[in-house]
Structure 1
């Protein structure tokens, strides 16, 4: 049963900018910033970067990510998944008293803003990107919206990794160079895996609650222990992939800077072992997201440095 919304607290919360900031789930926004940075860094090896297109792509990606988070907030509330006691949510509706319709319309507004920015990008690159942009926004909506949300299936990690990893990197590269080569495709692989790992970590944390509400996530299907093993395998594979790219001279050895994020990856895996309560798993969940952030930023830095040396 859904918790009644507070009245006096509602008015207080809506005047607090921190409530709106939490609604975007800022800890997830690096999943949009990192791929854009990497795609642009790769394009830097091919051409002069147009800063206006980089900024436009970055803002559009952040808007779509934030809107996706808001749709998540809205539909999880409508389906009764979120309560004031839920761990790891924005909580704008169940804790802060923001009206559900306000959250929904704000998400739609973010999508519309991203669409207008997308038009600008298409004008300066290719109108084919309009179709890709529509598909990306549809994926963001149907991740938790619609009759069969992607997040309720075993394909949530795959969808998030593909769109937030592969697609964003390739678009960021394309709008600068006018083409797509094999290099950005293979470089996008570990980023896609790490974005997927964030979703897997989230599903490990929420496994018991998701099962009660009929979800069929990968973590539920394989069990908690195997899900943790898969998470560890995804993290290991991401680092190993970079070694392979360096060994085959696809990228510079400077990209090995990503190994500075290994401690976070270890903390992410170990933090889940032996834990069953969502609150106890929050540090591991946070470490998984930080692994993606650190790995991605270090990879982008390595790519930029290698251009100059």
Structure 2
């Protein structure tokens, strides 16, 4: 269920140009000093900041979040690098946390993508810092590496994190296909034979070198993994492959970790199984 909503993430070329024009002189000065790497298309060039690579618009949002975002005591952060199964994990967490408000027949997940229902730290907080938690749901998603998170989030004093990693080869292939579709959409192309500016082989080399969105990938994983060793009560580290192998087990584990364990009655009604079904492909 890791089919990110391309339409929601699409960055219009003219919009990017406007963003660059409106960027503060401080940010422009910073950008001019950063290492730059050509992205998979003209409007996705990457800039290295604090050891990681970001597209222009994302870097500006991350810096804004670092400077302005304040974590709340009960926040639960769903963290991952892109294309590691994060959409599926968001759906599972949302269904678990909101089961007191919705049943499986009227869940908002039936009509909305998880990206719409769960705010993003880097996408939403710079735009709506006071409104992003208006739904009174403690979930917040992010792709930001641990060391680049706002300090109030890093502390893990009264918040929790769930991190999902995935086998690097599968992550790259999923990311590659996503960026290919993204480029076709940006160029207004319906012909899927349109070539990217960077070939598959070049993309693989860049990924291996760590020059990918929110990369290096292994550094991204390592940052959260180390924190899970130091504070296992605050950071739950999951592997996509294990989640797919025994989803029901991890649904129960997620519920327990988020402070929403299933009651005996809910277990008797088969609610964990119904959540797995709701969040699975085809509902079967």
What TM-score do you get using the length of structure 2 for normalisation?
0.28
Larger RCO, structure (CA 8 Å, separation 6 or more): 2
More helix by share: 1
